[in-house]
Structure formats: structure tokens, C-alpha cells
Chains A and B, each alone.
Chain A
């Protein structure tokens, strides 16, 4: 199973860049890496997805090293509204393990 490990919590201040790393040592060849954001009492929201190297969209960047055993979600210049839980999910289109969310990383952004 492609189990993931993330820090339980992180603190930051407004305007700073935040990097959250996820370890997935058992990632399989066909696995994608997907990050979700969840606010209290809301469903998780897709942030970004990647397979290798770097992916960037309007809200975040995802860095994946060549061995793909980890990935880093980068949030540039965070604001108070980025306070949320961030989940890293690894899996392909066939395996059960992809459906298991870990404990996530609770990010607290302070003024």
C-alpha cells in the first residue's frame, strides 16, 4: 500500500511561503500524487495533481523528485484563508489504497 506520511501540523504567518512535504516511499509506477484542502465542515477540495517533476497552477506548486518517494506542496504567500487541513493522496486508478486519506497536515496561518 502506498501509505503517506505528513506532518500533523504547521504554523505560518501571512505572506510567507509554506511547504508541506508528504512521504510515500512505496509509491507505484502508475500512481499519481494528489493534494486536497479541507476547511472545517466542508468537503475536501482538489488543489493540485502530479506524476513527476513540477506542476504549477494558480494556487500552488507541486514538486516531485526523480525517485517520487516524496512530494512537496508549496503555497506561495499564504493568507489567513489558507488555514485548513491539507491531505496528500497517492494512488492509481485500480488500487483500493488510493481511497484512504491520511491524517493530513493542519496549517494555521496567523496575522
Chain B
């Protein structure tokens, strides 16, 4: 157990639907990062939050949005889902704003999203 909790572990939904993925960071970590990993692809950075505020944005689609709540958990909302959105979605957390110092990121086990 890495300390980063992601729910649900698996999600199957239809095209056009909307889903919410949840992440609870490791205790004490203020930064949360979201990544998308399609089959046999690398990790694509989506977005980062630090202590409730958006810190950095990657190639996140307009159909996707995220937020970090006062208790530091984060949610990634995916709407108007397409077949190509099927992927593993990982959440990571770190103690610092950047995550490189103090042993980097801690990743959760991911949510596998299947759009049918």
C-alpha cells in the first residue's frame, strides 16, 4: 500500500457519459497529480494541484476537469466520454510543490476506465 488511494479501481461506462475518479493523497502530502496511461503508452501528465490550487496543466482535454478539496483529496471529472478515453488513470502525491525533492512522487494503483 503506497498510501495514495484511488477509487474506483475499475470503471466501465458508455460513450457520452460522465465519470468521476477520486484520489486521496498520502497523509501530509499537499500536491496531487493526475496522469493518463493508455495501453502500452507512456504516462501523460494531465494536471497538478497544490494545497487546493491548480499548479500546472498538461495536455488535459477540455472535457476533463479536476479539483482538490480542502481535505486535500482530489477528483478528476471526465465527461462526454469517447472510446479513446479508455485508459489507466493514475493519481500521485508529493509533499512539496514539485515533487522532485524528498523522494519524488507516490503513485496510487490507478483506476482502469473502459469506455464501451
Count class of interface residues, chain B: 20 to 34
- Cα A2 to Cα B103 with chains together (Å): 18
Count class of interface residues, chain A: 20 to 34
Quote the shortest CB–CB distance from A3 to chain B (angstroms). 13
Considering the complex, give the chain B residue whose CB is closest to the CB of A32.
B100
Asked if residues A43 and B100 are in contact (CB atoms below 8 Å), the reply is: no
Residues of B95-116 whose CB lies within 8 A of A: 96-101, 103-110, 112
- Cα A43 to Cα B26 with chains together (Å): 14
Asked if A93 meets B99 with Cβ closer than 8 Å, knowing A43-B2, A99-B56, the reply is yes
Note all chain A residues with C-beta closer than 8 A to B109. Answer: 42-43
Asked if residues B99 and A98 are in contact (CB atoms below 8 Å), the reply is: yes
Interface positions of A (Cβ within 8 A of B): 31-32, 34, 36, 41-46, 49, 87, 89, 91-96, 98-104
Given contacts A43-B110, A93-B99, A99-B56, 12 further A-B pairs with CB under 8 A are A31-B100, A41-B112, A43-B108, A44-B90, A49-B100, A49-B104, A89-B100, A92-B100, A96-B56, A98-B98, A99-B45, A100-B45
Interface positions of B (Cβ within 8 A of A): 2, 4, 33, 35, 42-43, 45, 48, 56, 58, 88, 90, 92, 96-101, 103-110, 112
